[in-house]
Amino acid sequence: MSSIWITGGKGFIGRHLAQFVAGNSQTVHGLGHGAWVEDEFSACGFKSWLNAEIDFASLSHLAASSGLPDIIFHLAGGSAVGPSIQNPYEDFQRTVETTARLLEWVRQHSHQTRVIGASSAAVYGSGFSTPIPENTHAMPFSPYGFHKAMLEKLFDSYRETYGLKLGIVRLYSIYGPGLEKQLLWDICQKLEKSANGEILLHGTGQELRDWLHIKDTCSLLWKVATLPDLPQVINGGTGKSTSIFDIAHLVSDAWGEKHKVVFNGIGRKGDPASLVADTTLSQQLGYTPSINIQDGIKGVVHWYRERSR
């Protein structure tokens, strides 16, 4: 049995990953922002939870109580483009400074620990019309994307200079039950509040995204962490594109009431027309997502409607 730490463990991915890893008979400890009573964090698979900044003091405190970790999943950091534009320095602190402190602590105190960092397809930027391979030159356009690129550079630096065991997973559009923000949540809220059988969304509806269910996300993160040789970077997507138009109608159909979906034609500055993963590398490593978008969205809508009752 291994000792697994998850930073940012109270977030959407962290909570699901803890359950997944604990289900694989591993001991999971979490740290990050947010008070959590034992019944709540243990229900998510955590043996312990430390509500603290990710710094030398908190990391050393966790090591003293639970022992040095075999694997750290570093999920702490900024979570989306919008908030990073509103508060860029806060996003920098959450993503870049946190990563620097974590890697320096690992270098000094736990050199054999494997660290898997969660990056984002936002590092690629825009201007793509085909699936994006990992060796594509990063051209981010938002503070969120720039800061994730900085996270990756820190991983490169500590790997090459100090020989640490580090890997990056660039996540695409992660979704699933329990995510109370972003597109599917927004659509469900609009459907719930619609008084005239119509909902209005931003953009053209033709924007293409690669949607990876949270269960498949956890499976990929765990697979990468336990490979004999860590890949420096790997795309976390399905390789399949789905337009926002189709996503909106899948959600509407799963909702079970007829709604007209209207797009205002106004996109966010720099928003990519297409952001889809080239999954050649993950396929070579034996990874295949298991949940199709239709079933995944039905699950999200069911969760949303149940929680609203």
Quote the CA–CA distance of 79 and 119 in Å, as a whole number.
Answer: 10
Between 250 and 141, the more confident residue is 250
Q: What residue ranges do the domains of the chain occupy?
A: 3-174+211-236, 178-209+240-277+291-307
For residue 206, is pLDDT > 90?
yes
Quote the CA–CA distance of 26 and 14 in Å, as a whole number.
Answer: 15
C-alpha of 35 from chain center: 21
Rounded average pLDDT over 154-164:
98
142 in Cβ contact with 272 (< 8 Å): no
* Pairing label, strands 27-32, 260-263: unpaired
Would 3-174+211-236 and 178-209+240-277+291-307 be classified into the same CATH topology? no
Instruction: Kindly give, in sequence order, each residue whose CB lies less than 8 Å from that of residue 49, ignoring residues fewer than 6 positions away.
Output: 9, 10, 29, 30, 31, 36, 38, 41
Q: What is the pLDDT of residue 115?
A: 98
User: pLDDT tens for residues 174-192?
Assistant: 999 999 999 999 999 999 9
Q: What is the pLDDT of residue 127?
A: 86
For residue 139, is pLDDT > 80?
yes
Of residues 277, 158, 160, 288, the one with CA closest to residue 223: 288
Query: What 3-state class would DSSP assign to 170?
Result: strand
pTM for the full predicted model:
0.95
Assign residue 4 a region (left: φ > 0; alpha: ψ between -120 and 50; beta: otherwise): beta
Quote the CA–CA distance of 161 and 141 in Å, as a whole number.
Answer: 28
Q: What is the pLDDT of residue 308?
A: 64
The CATH topology of domain 178-209+240-277+291-307 is UDP-galactose 4-epimerase; domain 1 (3.90.25)
User: pLDDT tens for residues 76-93?
Assistant: 998 888 888 889 999 999
For residue 11, is pLDDT > 90?
yes
Please give the mean pLDDT across all residues of the chain: 94
User: pLDDT tens for residues 284-301?
Assistant: 999 999 999 999 999 999
User: pLDDT tens for residues 35-67?
Assistant: 888 888 999 999 999 999 999 999 999 999 999
Of residues 11, 17, 68, 3, the one with CA closest to residue 224: 17
Of residues 78, 76, 74, the one with CA closest to residue 53: 76
Query: What 3-state class would DSSP assign to 15?
Result: helix
Q: What is the pLDDT of residue 38?
A: 85
Angle separating helix axes 182-193 and 293-307, nearest 10 degrees: 50
Please state which CATH class domain 3-174+211-236 belongs to. Answer: alpha beta
Rounded average pLDDT over 254-273:
85
**Percentage of the residues of the chain whose pLDDT score is greater than 90:** 84
How many other β-carbons are positioned within 10 Å of the β-carbon of residue 130? 9
Q: Where are the alpha helices (DSSP H) in the chain?
A: 12-23, 38-43, 56-66, 81-86, 88-92, 98-109, 143-162, 182-193, 214-225, 244-255, 280-284, 293-307
List, as one string, the DSSP characters of 92-135. Answer: HIIIIIHHHHHHHHHHHH-TT-EEEEEEEGGGG-S--SSPBPTT
Rounded average pLDDT over 194-213:
92
